[in-house]
Structure 1
Amino acid sequence: MKLAGKLDGINDRHHFFALAAKTMRQVLADHARGQSRDKRGGGRKRLTLGPGSMAAAVSEFDAIEFNDALEHLASLNERHAQVAELRLLGAMSVLEIADHLGIGEATVKRDWQMAKLWLMRELA
């Protein structure tokens, strides 16, 4: 539903996946917040992402903490946060991210390394 209202403005495949990744992060965080409300029994549930993601290497993560960390990263460096979101939730390749953001592949790789290290430290 969150994504349906935004489909009219989609320009291309990369734009769709970027929008889907952002929407997925919001839905996961909203769901986790709903699960942690006192009226629903409280306590956060831990979610596991599929193979190939940084979160899979950590095994489990808290969706609210992940969302907050990504927002904090965006306040420090918007592009690093975009690269991380597209990589982790959009399952986009380095080449796809470079094309979508209009930057070089080497820049995406550097941004991804920085974002990954920052997120791992923040979520540890």
Structure 2
Amino acid sequence: MDEPEPAAAAAAEVTQLLQRAAAGDRAAADRAFSLLYDELRRQARRRLWQSGEVSALDTTGLVHEVYLRLQAGAPRDFPDRRHFLSYAARAMRGVVVDAIRARQAQRRGGEFERVTLGTGVLESVAVADDAEVLRVHESLDALAEVDERLARVVELRYFCGMTEAEVAACLEVTERTVRRDWQKARLILLTSLA
């Protein structure tokens, strides 16, 4: 009997761990997170690189914020790696948007803020145009009402910095479909943001 390929075996292990985590097994959730940690760091690094600044602390901080959001609240049901990474993409988007909002509040005299565990994780991220990131974030809900997949493509490309191939794998579509969706979504967003 042939041995399964290492990638297939790892994916199967992650799937099993995620199923156990959904049943409330925190150790399984931690193990799944650790198996996907390097991939999450790559996503975070790309996201922060797109923002104009990358540092190991910021990358690590972004991934750890995703972990904290995952651990907060009830266990979530991720049937497989793809669903988990999709959630991580949304969580990264939320962390980046929250950091921008906090930075904007600071500019408006909000220097006195409540200190929490996650405060300051992304303060050094220099987003070229904070207002644009917030407008895109807010426009995604409207785009999702028109076409959910288009919104997911934007989220994964714009907020997580995934390549077309990575988005295609995550959404289980072809790269050509991702290219078309990306172009269509950009046109819709440009029209709505104008």
Q: TM-score range by the shorter chain?
A: 0.5 to 0.7
Q: Percent identity?
A: 33
Aligned amino acid, residue 127 of structure 2: L
Q: Where does structure 2 lack aligned partners over 5 or more consecutive residues? A: 1-63, 112-125
Give the match for residue 180 of structure 2: 110
User: Is the contact between residue 3 and residue 23 of structure 1 (CA under 8 Å) also seen in structure 2?
Assistant: yes
How far apart are the structure 2 equivalents of 1:32 and 1:91?
17
Does residue 28 (structure 1) correspond to residue 96 (structure 2)? The answer is yes
Shift of 1:94: 1.4
Larger radius of gyration: 2
How far apart are the structure 2 equivalents of 1:32 and 1:123?
18
Give the match for residue 65 of structure 1: 135
Shift of 1:120: 2.1
1:3 to 45, 52, 66: 66
Shift of 1:15: 4.7
Give the match for residue 51 of structure 1: none
Cα 1:79–1:109 change in 2 (3 A) is same
Give the match for residue 149 of structure 2: 79
The CA deviation string for residues 48-101 of structure 1, in whole angstroms up to 9 with x for no partner, is 2xxxxxxxxxxx241332211112111211100100111112222212211111
> If the length of structure 2 is used for normalisation, what is the TM-score?
0.46
Give the match for residue 127 of structure 2: 47
User: Is the contact between residue 69 and residue 119 of structure 1 (CA under 8 Å) also seen in structure 2?
Assistant: yes
How far apart are the structure 2 equivalents of 1:71 and 1:47?
21
> If the length of structure 1 is used for normalisation, what is the TM-score?
0.67
